[in-house]
Every structure is written in C-alpha cells, then in structure tokens.
Amino acid sequence: MGDQQNAGKCPVMHGGNTQEKADVVAWWPESLKLDILHQHDRKTNPMGEAFDYREEVKKLDFAALEKDMHELMTDGQDWWPADWGHYGGLMIRLAWHAAGTYRIADGRGGAGTGNQRFAPINSWPDNGNLDKARRLLWPLKKKYGNKVSWADLFILAGNVAYESFGFKTFGFSYGREDIWHPETDIYWGAEKEWLAPSDERYEDVEKPDTMENPLAAVQMGLIYVNPEGVNGQPDPQKTAEQVRVTFARMAMNDEETAALTAGGHTVGKTHGNGDAEALGPEPEGADVHEQGLGWHNPNLNGKATNAVTSGIEGAWTTNPTQFDMGYFDLLFGYEWELKKSPAGAWQWEPIDIKEEHKPVDTTDPSVRRNPIMTDADMAMKVDPAYRAICETFMKDPEYFKDCFARAWFKLTHRDMGPKPRYIGPDVPAEDLIWQDPVPAGNTNYSVEAVKDMIAESGLSIGEMVSTAWDSARTFRGSDMRGGANGARIRLAPQKDWEGNEPDRLAKVLKVYETIAAESGASLADIIVLAGSVGIEQAARAAGHEVLVPFSPGRGDASDEMTDVDSFEPLEPLADGFRNWLKKDYVVKPEEMLLDRAQLMGLTGPEMTVLIGGMRVLGTNYGDTTHGVLTDREGQLTNDFFVNLTDMANTWEPTGKNAYNIVDRKNGNTKFTATRIDLVFGSNSILRSYAEVYAQDDNQEKFIQDFINAWTKVMNADRFDLEKLQKS
C-alpha cells in the first residue's frame, strides 16, 4: 500500500524501474545473473566505438602531466586542506586502495579499471575521504582529457607522491582503461552491513586460512585487515596471522608484505581527531547537494588537524613528508601502549617518547603530537617472521628501499597482465616473474604444412580440440593472466591438473613436440592450430567447408619464466564447456560455468554456442556422453540445440547432477545430461539463445558463431594482436 499511496501523491506515473532494489527477477533470487556477461558494453561507454584508449594514451605529454601532478601535491585547497601542506599521503592511500582490492584467486579487483569511482568501493568505510583525492585530481583529468584514464591517474598520483617525498619508484605503466559503471561480477562478501564481524567470513576466525575464497579482506568494506585488530580487538600476533593471509591472497609474500607496510606508513598519517559520529553519509548515500562527496565533516573548519577518516589519529613517523627509515626507528626504538584516539578507536602510542621524535601537527607546526601505530604495524614487531624481515631492512636501508619499490610496483601493476601491455617512458626494462613473461614466437613457418602434419598425426578431433581448449581456458580478463600463449599447459603445475587429463595430455603433447621439432613452430602455436584442424574436420564432416582464423607467433615459456605458486589459483575446479566438475560444490555447476565465462570475456550467446559446439565435437572430460545430444559425434552440427529444445523429449532426474532425456512416446532414454546442459533449456534467457541455434535456417550461423567465439578464446592473450582483439 505504501508505494500506491506515494504514487497517488505524485502527478507523474512512476512506471520505470529506476532503483537498484527494483530488480525484475528479485522474486527468484537464485536466477543466474547473466548480466555479468554483458556489463561495460558500448551503450554504457560515452566514448564511442572508435575510441581506443590504449592508442590515445600514447599521444599524452607524459612529462607535462607528471610535472602538473608534482605541482598538485603542494597546491592546497581550502575545501580540503592538506596535511603539512602536502597531499602526498592522501594520494598514496588513493593508489594503494585502488590497487589493493586485487585478489589472486580470481584476478578480480585491482586498479586496472578505475572502479574506485563507483559503488560499492567508493563508499567503503576503508575508503573514507578518498572521494576528496579524486576531486583534487579532477583538474588534471579535465586538462588532459581522453589521453589519460582515471585508472591511470589514481596510480600515477601515488607514484608521483612517493617521488615528491624523496623516494625513487621502480617504474610506472600507463594503459588502464576506465569502466563506466560498477562491476557487477565481483563478489565482495555476503554480509549486509559494513564491518560486520569477521566470523561470518571464516569457518573458524581463529584460523585465518579458513576465510571464504576468493575474498582477501577480513570484513565487509575493508581492503585487508581491521587496523584496530581482529574484530576491532587489539592483538598484534593475531592480526599478524590475518595480515599474512590477506596479503598472500593478493599475491604478496612475507617480505613484500613487511616492505609494503613499512613503506606505506613511512609517510602520511591517519585521521581521527574528532567525533566520527558527526560525519555525514558516504558518497552513495549522500543527498544531491553534496555532489558525490561523502563523509561531510561539520567540524573540519578548514583545518587538516580536524579531519576524521579511519578513526585512528596520528602519523607513524617523525617526518611524515620524507621517505626515510623513521618508521623502523620509532616502531623498534620505543615500547608502545594501547590508547584510544579522539574518535574512540584503538591505537598504539609510544611510552616516554622524546619530544623531538614527535611529528608536528598537520596545521600548526608549533605543536607536536604523539605518533601512532596500528595493530597491523605492531604485528611487524611482534610476529617472529615479520620482525626478522624488518631487522634485515633496518641493517640495509638500500635493500629495504629496493624491496619496497618492487613491491609497490607489483601492488599497482599486478592486474595489468604481461609486460607487452605496458605503455609509457617509465616502463622498467627488467622482466619480472609475476608478469608471466612469454618469449616471442616464430612466425617463419608454413602454417599449411603444420596443419597437414597435425591432420596426419592420428589424433582424434576430441583430443585436438580439448587440448587447445584446456590450454586457452585459463585466461582471465580480470587480470589478463592465463591463456594459450606460452604453452604453460606442458609445464608444472598445469600439466598435472586433474581437469587437463594428464595422461591424455601427455600423449597429445608428445605428438606435438615431434611436429614442433620438424616444423619450427612453437608448441603454443601447434596446440591452438590443432584445435583449428579438429574444428575444420568436424565442419567438413557435417558438409561445411570452413577455415578457422589463425595467427602464428605464440611463444613457449620455460619453467624459469613460470611462478608455480601464482599459477596454482588458475586451476579450474570445473569446466562446464567440457562438462566436468572436480567434485561436488555448494555452488551450482551452472554458476561455476557463468563465472568462468565472465572471466574469459564471453557474452551469453558466445557461451551458449561454445557449449553446443563442444558437446557435439566429443570434448567431454573423460569421454563421457553427458550432453552429447547427437548421433553424429565428431561433426560440427547444431544437434545439441535441436534435441534440447525438441518437445518430443522429456527430462528425468536420475541422481545428483544427472538426467536422462527420454522419448515422450515410448519412454526410451535417448541421451544423458547434466545441469550444465539442461540450464540452456530451463533458463529463459539461455533458452532464447538456444532456440536461435536450433532453427533450421541457422545451421550455418551456428557454425560461424562457434568459430568466431572459439577464435576469441584462442586469441584472448595475444596482446601483440590487440587491434585484432577489438575487432
């Protein structure tokens, strides 16, 4: 009645679903969220189809922008006063928190898309007042326009801030492309309130490694850990254990973690000098007159001293606008005790600190304030492993600076993919193992001759297509990792993954190695090319002559180029395209298929046509016949869709994730299937795609669409063919 009453007061009919909560499928909360496959399409992008940011940024006057960025650091604004007249600490936090959402489990998050401009991240408690940092950058974005993305600006601001503080960074790359609305594919946790107790994310909160995957933060709305301690209760050793897990989940080891903690807290300060309850709502919750700014502080009065952000109050070092060894000097030079900040947050303060070791007030240099440490800082002192690393840093400041520079570069570039994607004058020459380097491949060989050798090898269509697919399916558009280039499927850990059928894989690779030795083609090229041969043979068997596009030039990575530990998270736990599950999971098989398709950058129709084609080609894991809805296995036909949509059939459950497709008239079982197969008939959206491919007049369309989607998957990591990718 409430909505009807409100409508009665309004002279304008409110017929549009204009609020996020008014989801048309909210009645059925377990419906597949297929929209994640179609976010960031051309309709949301104001730049138009012809715009190519990665080409546009190459025209940027890099030196001019960076000069302006340096000047911005000390160009104070009355509406948001700078700490000690320098915005560097704020800009470092901006960059850190943009990059710090990255998690290695699925490659999602990170700074690569400029997603910090949008909900929910722009309104996370941990991102308090970073809206001000973004507004401070607006004059530069306005000036340089299309030649620099917000995503690049965020990270550049952090780099320039460190340079302004006297630190030499490792390098910087441009090339991050902005998105234009929130990322709807990323799962940030199931909690319905900010900073809900950590217990909800763990099987046992006392065991940090039981935190729900793929999450890499201990509470909703935080980047990593609670700075006050586990669930806000100080205990540095317990916090250390959470720090170790959260940083590992974003691909950092203990040394990198300690370096980042120390280097991040060598400059800048926390803000909690006032009543946190007095702050206004976050940006997404603020009224229109706030113009997208949040956390309004009625007590700021133009003084940086009065800022309230985290609730913790103080600087970590004596000289917070200089990059020095002051963090270690204070942390290890004094004993520390628990205190409450003016905002009521737990923090550690030094006992009997010398007056000259206190940092000066951010507004009034005649006043000195106690430095502080968070529970995570104290963890560096209390935890034996972190303490040993910090002691090494203290003995060798140059080593510390190098470790921090490299860790900061990794933090801010981890989701950019391999080095060939880097742009700009400050790209480091050194190849780093976490960049997944791949040497250039040979293009000086006869593709047709290699195809003939593959065709005469005796391998089946299923073996050729499955091996190519398994090699390419690891690609993640989230962080540009994985894919067929490099042929890492022949190396540890991939060669031993259960989903790759190691025995079958070894047999196929042995054949390919012989062809590679005779032809000069890389194994990576041969793996992909063999998939093309299999598809062309299957199409020919169905009466269609086709040519699968192929671009030579993939290289073969070595064991030395491969970080085994960082590749482990890329192991598929399921592959709906090959109708395989490693084991039964709480998550439905079709949801795991959807997640994989989104990471691979597939649309709904592309996912659909690939499923239909893969089934009839005989690519199922272990040669099972589930979903092979054809009597012509090995021929590229639309039979999967024809039989799935045929009302002469009915479908009977036979067990967990197992179904028979039965003739309605005689009761005979015609085929078997899994949920992955049947969802393309049961889900109304997927069925609409399936019906297209089942039509009598769309057999050729099916084949061409399959080839197009297949080629997209095979070329997903060919960053040397970027222009081709966009076509």
626 carries an active-site annotation:
no
Report the alpha-carbon distance of residue 235 to residue 441 in Å, rounded. 52
Which tokens belong to 727? Answer: 């076509």
Q: Which of 86, 97, 271, 626 is catalytic?
A: 97
Query: Tokens 């290289």 label which residue?
Result: 555
Query: Tokens 């949509």 label which residue?
Result: 645
Using only the alpha carbons of the chain, give its radius of gyration. Answer: 28
Strand partners, 651: 661
Report the alpha-carbon distance of residue 260 to residue 158 in Å, rounded. 13
Distance of CA 35 to the CA centre of its chain: 18
Write out residues in the chain with pLDDT < 70, as ranges: 1-15, 17-18, 22, 722-727
**8 A C-beta contact, residue 175 and residue 427:** no
Query: Tokens 């320039």 label which residue?
Result: 160
Distance of CA 66 to the CA centre of its chain: 27
CB atoms within 10 A of CB 7: 12
Q: DSSP readout, 447-475?
A: HHHHHHHHHTS---HHHHHHHHHHHHTT-
Which tokens belong to 494? Answer: 């991939």
Q: Which of 465, 462, 483, 455 is nearest to 601 (CA)?
A: 483
**8 A C-beta contact, residue 614 and residue 469:** yes
What is residue 304's predicted lDDT score, i.e. its pLDDT?
96
Which tokens belong to 521? Answer: 């083609």
Q: Give the tens place of pLDDT for each residue, 582-611.
A: 999 999 999 999 999 999 999 999 999 999
Secondary structure of the chain: what % helix, strand, coil (to 5)?
50, 5, 45
What is residue 727's predicted lDDT score, i.e. its pLDDT?
39
Which tokens belong to 303? Answer: 């003084």
Report the alpha-carbon distance of residue 481 to residue 623 in Å, rounded. 28
DSSP state of 247: H
User: How far is the first Cα of the chain from the last one, in angstroms, to the nearest whole number?
Assistant: 51
Which tokens belong to 86? Answer: 């320098």
Q: Are strands 580-581 and 269-270 parallel, antiparallel or unpaired?
A: unpaired
Q: Are strands 580-581 and 574-575 parallel, antiparallel or unpaired?
A: antiparallel
Task: Please state, in angstroms and as integers, the Cα–Cα distance from residue 84 to each residue in 75, 162, 164, 269, 443, following that order.
Answer: 11, 15, 13, 10, 57
pTM given for the model: 0.96
Return the ∠ at Cα 558 (arms to 553 and 564), rounded to 5°: 120
What is residue 20's predicted lDDT score, i.e. its pLDDT?
73
